[in-house]
Amino acid sequence: MKTDDLIRAMAADTGRRSMPMDTAWRLAGVLAFVLAGAVFLVALGPRPDALASLETARFVFKFVVTLALVASAFALVRALARPGGGGGSLLAWLAVPPLLLVVAVALELFAVPASEWMTRLVGVNSQVCLTFIPLIGAAPLGVFLLALRHGAPTRPRLSGAVAGLVAGGLAAAFYAAHCPDDSPLFVATWYSLAIAGLAAVGALAAPLVARW
């Protein structure tokens, strides 16, 4: 088949339309939220004093930092799914959640005596955190990898890692409502570790799943 023949075949195929990327990402976002929420409610549910805790800065901060990660990583992964979609300027926003963490940790170290640092860092249920953030985030990661597959990521490994960050941030935001540990020392250690795990899985899976 010559290139001209191929062009003729593709022109004849123009009637067949596929879902626009914006629609695909909106759909993926809603689906990921619903799936993460369902797993969270079935497996854990919010802690009894969740509503009352909204008055404490440490509890609220957990949502601020995880949702900041969701927002910045989601914007970036959408750009990465398009060839020439840039992403360079969006990459900088990804620094916001870690910076928030650094500030929060600094404030915590200032507010709490050194003798309590280790206790707060270890917390009461780091194992549960390391189990359930990946568990809640698994389905969202799958959904985001499928959205990447629908797109055309020219940097599949990076795209997969960022998809893992979105899934991890989403899962961590849900998990935060259950988790009794509110110290930034705990969040910076265990939440980060769990989210990094999802990012690693995304980076490994995307080159296979989102091949085009």
Owner of token pair 């993926």: 28
Token pair listed for 94: 């990804």
* Closer residue to other proteins in complex, CB, 151/184: 151
Establish if 45 lies at the interface with other proteins (CB under 8 A): no
Binding residues for other proteins, rule CB under 8 A, total 32
Longest dimension (CA), the chain: 75
Site string for other proteins, 111-150 (x = CB under 8 A): ---------------------------------------x
Q: Which is nearer to other proteins, 5 or 55 (CB)?
A: 5
* Inter-residue contact 194 to 129 (CB < 8 Å): yes
Kindly identify the residues of this chain, within the stretch 167-206, that bind other proteins according to CB under 8 A: none
Choosing from 5, 42, 88, 114, the residue that interacts with other proteins (CB under 8 A) is 5
> Contact region for other proteins (CB under 8 A) — 9-17, 32-40, 45-53, 130-138?
9-17
In the complex, minimum distance from the CB of residue 76 to other proteins, in angstroms, rounded to a whole number? 16
DSSP alpha helices (H): ranges in the chain? 3-12, 21-43, 50-53, 57-80, 88-93, 96-111, 117-122, 126-150, 156-176, 184-186, 192-209
Confirm or reject binding of residue 21 to other proteins (CB under 8 A). yes
Interface with other proteins (CB under 8 A), residue from 2, 113, 115, 118: 2
Query: Rounded CA gap, 171 and 149, in Å?
Result: 22
Q: How many residues does the chain have?
A: 212
Taking residue 6's Cβ as centre, other Cβ atoms within 10 Å add up to 10
**Angle at CA of residue 122, ends 121 and 123, nearest 5°:** 90
Residues 59-88 that bind other proteins (CB under 8 A): 81-85
For other proteins, the closer CB: 2 or 110:
2
Residues lying near other proteins in the complex (CB under 8 A): 1-21, 81-85, 150-152, 154, 211-212
